[in-house]
A and B are shown apart, each in its own frame.
Chain A
Amino acid sequence: MLPDGKLEVENAVRAVLRDVLGLSEARAAAFREGTPLFGALPELDSLAVAGVLTELEDRLGILIEDDEVDGEMLETFGALTEFAAAKALK
């Protein structure tokens, strides 16, 4: 089922980060809105970013254009969730 609410999107983003980066359940569960991502998580290099974006597309049924990808949307867990929610819930 595709997610239809903000919480579902947040959980999908959390699960994608956990699955792509190989994070423990506890580490992924500890992500809060202000948790820094790109530059703060050593696992999240540019190739891993490509995997995160593609898996988000698949799970949320969205398309992310390359010109929409910037440092800002990857800065924090909250920013990435906001970006994904804006796409998935419109």
Chain B
Amino acid sequence: MIDHYDWPGGREAMMRFGPAGGPVVVAALPLFEEANRTRAFMVTILRGLASRGIASALPDLPGQGESLLPTGAARLAAMRNAFAAVPGAYTIAIRSGALLDAGARKGRWHLAPQPGADLVRELERVRQAGEAEDFAGNIISPEFLVELVGAEPDPARVVRLESDARPADLTVPGAPQWRRAEPDNDLVLAALLADDIAAWIRACEG
């Protein structure tokens, strides 16, 4: 269901999934190109949560998706403020979505969280590969890049793919959807992750 939410800087759209009652999970997609590559995958996870009785919201943040704010005017602080205004006791985020995961919550869950400095390094490589001023079609202001360099995800339950050697609370088999040159989906991995999120929320709720 398409809904909207208000934050101190305006109003943005969001998709809602699942039942009307119970705990709500607010979801953050990665920034820029990886948002396109993981959107269908994230929606599959949220539908999986709905079938497990858990409600969720996937907000467009200012400068993202259907937002009226031009992408070049997007700022990390504003996106975080908007995300914090979306009601929900729990959050889940993929990759650099972890940098947007703000607000008072009972718990956070991050899939392969990416520190801001790593993202900026990657963006620079993408910009050079495109031999243009934009970043593979994304217009990103210098101010936004400065905000990103120092950004680190907050503590969370961290899930990583088996191919990723960094510390994690859980590792799962599967390919990184966020790297795929052409967007794809992974129904098996999405179901596995929905199971883990549902079990984690049940444990948090006691």
Among B9-17, B55-63, B122-130, the stretch that binds chain A is: B122-130
Q: Shortest distance in angstroms between B32's beta carbon and chain A's nearest beta carbon?
A: 12
Given A47-B136, A59-B164, A61-B165: A19 touches B180 (CB 8 Å cut-off): yes
Determine if A43 and B165 form an interchain contact, defined as CB atoms under 8 angstroms apart.
Answer: no
Determine if B126 and A19 form an interchain contact, defined as CB atoms under 8 angstroms apart.
Answer: no
Residues of the B chain whose Cβ atoms lie less than 8 Å from the Cβ of A51: 179, 181
* Chain B: interface residue total (CB-CB under 8 A): 18
* A20 to B122 CA separation, bound complex (whole angstroms): 15
Determine if B163 and A59 form an interchain contact, defined as CB atoms under 8 angstroms apart.
Answer: yes
> Which bracket fits the contact residues of A?
20 to 34
Residues of the A chain whose Cβ atoms lie less than 8 Å from the Cβ of B128: 50, 66
In this complex, what residue of A is CB-closest to B176? A19
Given A19-B175, A46-B130, A47-B181: A53 touches B163 (CB 8 Å cut-off): no
Whether, in the assembled complex, A55 has its beta carbon less than 8 Å from a beta carbon of chain B, the answer is yes
* A61 to B130 CA separation, bound complex (whole angstroms): 25
Whether, in the assembled complex, A40 has its beta carbon less than 8 Å from a beta carbon of chain B, the answer is no
Question: Of residues 23 to 81 in A, which have CB atoms within 8 Å of B's CB atoms?
Answer: 43, 45-51, 53-55, 58-59, 61, 66
Q: Shortest distance in angstroms between A32's beta carbon and chain B's nearest beta carbon?
A: 22
Determine if A47 and B129 form an interchain contact, defined as CB atoms under 8 angstroms apart.
Answer: yes
Residues of the B chain whose Cβ atoms lie less than 8 Å from the Cβ of A22: 180-182, 184
Determine if B125 and A18 form an interchain contact, defined as CB atoms under 8 angstroms apart.
Answer: no
* A62 to B67 CA separation, bound complex (whole angstroms): 38
Partner of A15, one of B122, B129, B163, B181: B163
Residues of the B chain whose Cβ atoms lie less than 8 Å from the Cβ of A50: 122, 125-126, 128-129
Binary interface encoding of chain B residues 132-176 relative to chain A, with 1 for a CB under 8 A from any of its CBs, else 0: 000010000000000000000000000000011100000000011
* A53 to B181 CA separation, bound complex (whole angstroms): 13
Residues of the B chain whose Cβ atoms lie less than 8 Å from the Cβ of A54: 122, 125, 179
Residues of the B chain whose Cβ atoms lie less than 8 Å from the Cβ of A66: 125, 128
Determine if B125 and A53 form an interchain contact, defined as CB atoms under 8 angstroms apart.
Answer: yes
In this complex, what residue of B is CB-closest to A61? B165
Whether, in the assembled complex, A2 has its beta carbon less than 8 Å from a beta carbon of chain B, the answer is yes
Interface centre among B125, B126, B136, B175 (most CB of A within 10 A): B125
Q: Which 6 A-B pairs have the closest CB atoms?
A: A19-B175, A46-B129, A50-B129, A48-B181, A50-B125, A20-B179
A-B contact pairs, 24 of them (CB 8 A): A2-B165, A12-B163, A15-B163, A18-B175, A19-B163, A19-B175, A19-B180, A21-B181, A22-B180, A43-B182, A45-B181, A46-B129, A46-B130, A47-B129, A47-B130, A48-B181, A50-B128, A51-B179, A53-B125, A54-B122, A55-B176, A55-B179, A66-B125, A66-B128
